[in-house]
């Protein structure tokens, strides 16, 4: 499987800027993706924190992003024709990193190049998105950022 290369405003394993967290504006960070296969019809993304106190915390699920490879900073992605699902806080859309005081948490921004558009409801959760993507993933990649609060 092809690997997508992901770039953002933070380097891999570096601190995520406050602007993209609960201590800032909670904007979706900008991303640039290279290595998108020609047959790609859409991009899906899952953002998760495996270091959350009560297990995996999903910060964002989105799908049907156009396969342009350039995604600007945003507050929502519907203007791109994409759909967003429900995060672990029970809200639609992106929720920025917001760990409790203590060691920094890791945030995995996972991107998937798909050979189809997905017909999913806006109430879709991570597991449903992963199931819908089965057999349609042409390439995937991730960037991991960190964020901690004292």
Say how far apart CA 62 and CA 28 lie, in whole Å.
11
CATH number among 2.40.340.10, 3.90.280.10, 3.30.70.2190, 3.40.50.2000, domain 2-147? 3.90.280.10
What tens digit of pLDDT does each residue of 2-46 get? 899 999 999 999 999 999 999 999 999 999 999 999 999 999 999
Say how far apart CA 60 and CA 93 lie, in whole Å.
6
Q: Would you kindly state where each structural domain of the chain is located, as residue ranges?
A: 2-147
* pTM summary value: 0.96
What tens digit of pLDDT does each residue of 53-109 get? 999 999 999 999 999 999 999 877 877 789 999 999 999 999 999 999 999 999 999
Say how far apart CA 138 and CA 24 lie, in whole Å.
34
Where does 4-150 have alpha helices with state H? 126-133
Tokens of 9: 């405003």
């Amino acid at each position: 499987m092809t690997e997508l290369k992901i770039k953002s405003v933070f380097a891999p394993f570096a601190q995520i800027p406050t602007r993209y967290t609960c201590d800032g504006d909670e904007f979706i960070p900008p991303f640039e993706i290279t290595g998108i296969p020609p047959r790609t019809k859409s991009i899906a993304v899952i953002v998760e924190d495996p270091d959350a106190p009560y297990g995996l915390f999903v910060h964002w699920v989105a799908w049907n992003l156009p396969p342009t490879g350039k995604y600007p900073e945003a507050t929502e992605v519907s203007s791109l024709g994409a759909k967003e699902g429900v995060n672990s806080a029970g809200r639609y859309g992106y929720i920025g990193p917001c760990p409790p005081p203590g060691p920094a948490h890791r945030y995995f921004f996972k991107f998937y190049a798909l050979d189809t558009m997905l017909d999913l409801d806006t109430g879709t959760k991570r597991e449903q998105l992963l199931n819908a993507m089965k057999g349609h993933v042409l390439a995937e990649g991730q960037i991991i950022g960190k964020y901690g609060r004292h």
